[in-house]
Homo-oligomer: A and B are copies of this chain.
């Protein structure tokens, strides 16, 4: 999958590109089931909300075949190779649960702010690719983005270690207000299988989920190989240290696996 001229311009102007229904339900259904199993497992890679509900699961591509295939999927990897003009590796891999009733806030932040400060990533030549596993609705804690905010570089941030169970470099209210006055706020919504790519410096957040509808999103963070991290403060299952270029699988690899897996399970 290559980005069109129009998509490249959108990304340049607004800092994100949204692809509704990038993956078919046949490809996503298995991931959704496996994500629930992983999120309910007790292991160091699974972090919980203060309430005890699952918040995020790291590194599922290292211990789950379906998520390994997703991390190597050409629909995610190739646009990033195109954008960065070189090979990419997996810097981080998260399944964010935003559980029904319990999913807590992610405060306003830039991802590259964390990658730079905590991991010593030289430049914002890394990007998040969000894959919706559940339907993302306006009411179940959607991701909110501030278009054009990526043009402001890496903004001053404070290290919030108390609001949620996950420490995050967050922006202050005056900064968010100023950026939203310029770019507005959008909350892309869509069916499972929709994909959102956004710049490492794009300011984003998500509100708590108070509905009965879970809102799982996989965040695959791919980094240009030449831009690999230089500090190893965080565990290697949070900020990976294997800088091997991703060799994409076939475009139908996930579909084939999902079909065979489902048949096997029946």
Instruction: Report if A116 contacts B (CB, 8 A).
Output: no
Q: Select which of B138, B185, B208, B212 is within 8 A of A176 by beta carbon.
A: B212
Of A139, A177, A212, the most chain B CB neighbours within 10 A belong to A212
- Given A210-B144, A210-B207, A211-B180: A187 in contact with B138 (beta carbons within 8 A): yes
Instruction: Report if A108 contacts B (CB, 8 A).
Output: yes
A residues 142-160 near B (Cβ < 8 Å) are 142, 144
The complex places the Cα of A237 from the Cα of B163 at a distance, in Å, of 34
Instruction: Report if A101 contacts B (CB, 8 A).
Output: yes
Contacts of A4 in B (CB 8 A): none
In the complex, the count of this chain's copies comes to: 2
Contacts of A108 in B (CB 8 A): 210
Contacts of A209 in B (CB 8 A): 207
Instruction: Report if A22 contacts B (CB, 8 A).
Output: no
Q: Encode A37-71 as 1/0 by CB contact (under 8 A) with B.
A: 00000000000000000000000000000000000
With both chains docked as a complex, state the minimum distance between the C-beta of A181 and any C-beta of chain B, in angstroms. Answer: 8
- Given A138-B138, A139-B185, A207-B207: A212 in contact with B173 (beta carbons within 8 A): yes
Instruction: Report if A205 contacts B (CB, 8 A).
Output: yes
- Given A138-B187, A173-B101: A208 in contact with B208 (beta carbons within 8 A): yes
The complex places the Cα of A108 from the Cα of B210 at a distance, in Å, of 8
Q: A139-B207, A177-B212, A181-B212 are in contact. List 8 more A-B contacts (CB 8 A).
A: A100-B177, A101-B173, A105-B210, A139-B185, A139-B187, A144-B210, A144-B211, A207-B207
The complex places the Cα of A209 from the Cα of B213 at a distance, in Å, of 19
The complex places the Cα of A142 from the Cα of B210 at a distance, in Å, of 12
Contacts of A139 in B (CB 8 A): 138, 142, 144, 185, 187, 207
Instruction: Report if A107 contacts B (CB, 8 A).
Output: yes
Contacts of A185 in B (CB 8 A): 139, 211, 213
Q: Encode A117-145 as 1/0 by CB contact (under 8 A) with B.
A: 00000000000000000000011011010
With both chains docked as a complex, state the minimum distance between the C-beta of A52 and any C-beta of chain B, in angstroms. Answer: 13
Contacts of A142 in B (CB 8 A): 139
Of A101, A141, A181, the most chain B CB neighbours within 10 A belong to A101
A residues 192-219 near B (Cβ < 8 Å) are 205, 207-213
